[in-house]
Structure formats: structure tokens, C-alpha cells
Amino acid sequence: MSSERGYLVDPRVTEKVAFALLWVAMVVVMLPMAGIIGYMLYRGASSLNWELISAADGGLYPAIIGTTFLVLLTALVAAPIGVGAAIYLSEYARPGPLVRLVRLAIINLAGVPSVVYGLFGLAAFVILVGWGRSLLAGACTLALLVLPLVISTAEEALRQIPKGLREGSLALGASKWQTIRRVVLPNALPGIITGLILSIARAAGETAPILFTVAYFRLSDPIPNSIFDPIVAMPYQLFVMATEMPEIPDETKWATAFVLVALVLGLNIVATIVRTTLRRRRW
């Protein structure tokens, strides 16, 4: 009879082994990940002190200011375009080759390497338009980079609004735009904002696109007076410290890495919380 079982090993045993291996894989992935992030947080946090943050010279203050301005301007540029595109896709577009093409384009934009965005920003904004290395050039470059993210999150938020609300509004004699502005957008706002926060987080951590478009290493006056000023950005600062600056003590480097990671992860966590708390709404 046992010859009937053509498998050498009982499938139940195979299953146990396989599941054990999956656990191992899980540990192999998560442990070093947790270890290294933990180590960084530990080194960073223990190097961090108020003086280091607040010092205008050699401290993190200029980079924090610069990154803040940069990501805010990025969001300012990306939001109207991204939300507009999302409204187009979810409210106006009728399925067809054009929409297919738009989606393909957005997917590809999401996949373009960030350094290529940097090249584009250099060629288009810095050189051709003539903005030079400036806040505006950097923000526009980053805005293009985060655009697919803004569009997809905003579109998802718009799609979550029940069809019934739109029809209810239309049936009351609202025009399409009135419906969108008064019913759809206000209710999709939390989702859209979540997407914007995620985009800000992404923009805050990107280095390659700002390499040639905006970042300076040291400024006398870290607060930009106009959008045509250069700024100091945190990821660039970290990159320069790690690869170019000899005399900077390790503590400063670790602290910068820590602040950058904390900022990016913090924004992501905020976005997640916003999303989960606001998703629990009844329509």
C-alpha cells in the first residue's frame, strides 16, 4: 500500500519543513533590517542634542529649514497638477485609448530613475529656463518625481466616494464641477492629504534629483529670501558629509541620518494614521 504514496516524504512533513523555512526567511529579512535601523536610531539618537540641531553653523538647522522649504514648495507645485489629473481620471475620463495611455504614462513616470529626473531638471529648469540652482528648480524637479504618487493616492481617495453621493448631487441639478467641488473633493480631502504627506516624505528623502538642481552645502543665511535662492537639503547634506567632508565628526553624521530617517518615517506614520482613522467613516 505504501508504494501507492509515490512521494518520498509525506506532504504533511513537507509542509512543516516549508513553513519553518518561511519563518527563517522572515527572520533573515526582518532581523538585519531591524538591527541596522535600530543601530542607526541608537547611534543617531545618542549623538543628537539641541545644540547640534539649532546651530546655524555646522548644525542641522539650515538643512532642516531648507528641506522644509523644499518639500513645501514641492507639494505646492505637485498638488494642483496631481489632484487635477486625479480628478480627470476618476471623474471625467471615459475608458478608452487615451486613458490607457495616461495610465501607462503615469506608471512609467513612477518608474523613471530619480537621477534621470535630476538630469531633466538640470536640462529643463536649471539651464533652459534659466532658474539656476534654485529652490524653484529643485521643487519643480521633485514635484514631477512625486506626481505619480500624488495622482494615484488622490485618485484612490476620489474613487472611495460612493457613486450615490455624486448621483444625488447631479440629480439635484448640480453641474459636474459643482458636484466635484462641493461633494466629492471635500470628502476625498483626507485621502488626498494623506497622499500629499507621503509625497512630502518621499521628496524629503530624495538626493539624486536635487544633486544638480538646488542643493548647497553651506549657506550664510539658511532661510531663502526667494524661490530663486539655493538651499541646504538634508539628504544632500548627509551625502556630502559621508563622502566629501573630512573634519565633520561622526556624531553629526549620525545625527543627520537620524533626523532624516525620523522625518521621513514620521511623515509616513502620520499618513498611515490619517488614512486609517479617516477611512473608518460611514457614508
Partner 1 sequence: MMKRRAKRISEWIIERLIQVSGVLGIILVLLIFFFLLRNSLPMFQERSLSDLLLGEKWSPTHGDGHFGMLPLLLGSLYVTVGALIIAIPLALAVAIFVAEIAPRWMREFLKPAIELIAAIPSVVFGFLGLLVIGPWIAEHVEAIRVGQFAALGSVMLAFMALPTIVSICEDALHNVPRDIFNSSLALGATRWQTITRALLPAARSGIIAGCLLGLGRAIGETMTVLMVTGNAQVMPQGLEGFLKPIRTMTATIAAEMGETAVGSTHFHALFTIGLFLFIITFAVNTIADVIVRRSEKDIA
Partner 2 sequence: PPQQSADGVIVEPPIDDAAQGAGASGAINQIGSTTVLPIAEAWQRAFTSAHPEIKINVSGGGSGTGIKSLADGTAHIANASRGIKDQEIQDAQARGVEPVEHVVAYDGIAAVVHPSVGVDTLSIEQLSDIYSGEVTNWSQIGGADSEIIVVSRDSASGTYESWKEMVIQQGGEAEDRDYTPAALKQQSNEGIRSTVAGTPGAIGYIGLGYINDSVKVLSVSPLGGGDAVVPSVESVQSGDYPVARELYMYTNGEPTGAIATYFEWGLSEEGQKIVQEAGFVPVN
Partner 3 sequence: MQDSSTDTAAGNTSDSGTRQYDEDRAFLNAPVDADRSAEQSIADHAVKIQTTDLNIYYGDFHAIKGINSRIRSNEITALIGPSGCGKSTYLRALNRMNDEIADTRTEGDVLLDGVDIYQPGTDLVTLRRRVGQVFQQPNPFPMSIYDNVAYGPRLQRRLSRAEADEIVERSLRGAALWDEVKDGLRKSAMDLSGGQQQRLCIARCLAVDSEVLLMDEPCSALDPTATFRIEELMIELKERMAIVIVTHNMYQASRVSDRTGFFLLGELIEFDDTPRIFEHPQDERTDAYVRGRFG
In the structure grid, which three cell numbers stand for residue 265, read together? 518615517
Cβ proximity to partner 1, 70 vs 204, nearer residue? 204
Q: What is the closest distance, in whole angstroms, from the C-beta atom of residue 94 to partner 1 in the complex? A: 12
Q: Which residue of 140, 192, 212, 215 would you call a contact of partner 1, by CB under 8 A?
A: 212
We find the least distance from the C-beta atom of residue 242 to partner 2, in angstroms, to be: 8
Cα–Cα distance list, 197 to 19, 71, 104, 261, 265 (Å) = 38, 10, 24, 15, 11
CB of 211 to partner 1, least distance (A): 6
DSSP 54-103: H-TTTSSHHHHHHHHHHHHHHHHHHHHHHHHHHHIIIIIPPSSHHHHHHH
| 133, interface contact from partner 1, partner 2, partner 3, none, CB < 5-8 Å by kind | partner 2
Q: Which of 88, 160, 217, 251 binds partner 1 (CB under 8 A)?
A: 88
The contact set with partner 2 (CB under 8 A) reads 57, 126-127, 130-134, 211-212, 215-221, 224-226, 228-230, 240, 243-247
- Pick from 176, 116, 105, 100: which is nearest to 147 by CA? 105
Neighbour tally for 270: CB within 10 Å: 15
Minimum distance, C-beta of residue 79 to partner 3, in the bound complex (Å): 22
Q: Which helix (H) or strand (E) covers residue 144, if one does?
A: helix 135-160
Residue 177 as a binder of partner 1 (CB under 8 A): the answer is yes
143 phi, psi to nearest 5 deg: -60, -40
Distance in Å, CB of 197 to partner 3, minimum: 22
**Binding of residue 95 to partner 3 (CB under 8 A):** yes
231 pairs with which residues across the strands? 215
Q: Does 1 bind partner 3 (CB under 8 A)?
A: yes
- Site mask, partner 1, residues 100-139, x = CB under 8 A? -xxxxxxxxxxxxxxxxxxxx-xxx--xx-----------
Minimal CA–CA distance to 205: which of 132, 261, 128, 131? 261
Task: Give 75's Cβ-side CA count (13 Å radius).
Answer: 17
DSSP β-bridge partners for residue 145: none
CB burial class (10 A; 0-12, 13-18, 19+) of residue 221? exposed
Nearest to 129 by CA among 228, 204, 232: 228
CB of 187 to partner 3, least distance (A): 6
> Cβ 5 to partner 3, closest distance in Å?
5
Q: Which of partner 2, partner 3, partner 1, none is residue 95 near (CB under 5 to 8 Å by kind)?
A: partner 3
Q: Which is nearer to partner 2, 59 or 191 (CB)?
A: 59
Kindly write out the interface string for residues 203-242 of this chain, putting x where it contacts partner 3 by CB under 8 A and - elsewhere. Answer: ----------------------------------------
Binders of partner 3 among residues 152 to 191 (CB under 8 A) are 162, 164-175, 178, 182-183, 187
Determine how many CB atoms are found less than 10 A away from the CB of residue 219.
17
- Which residue ranges make up the site for partner 3 (CB under 8 A)? 1, 4-7, 11-12, 94-95, 162, 164-175, 178, 182-183, 187, 281-283
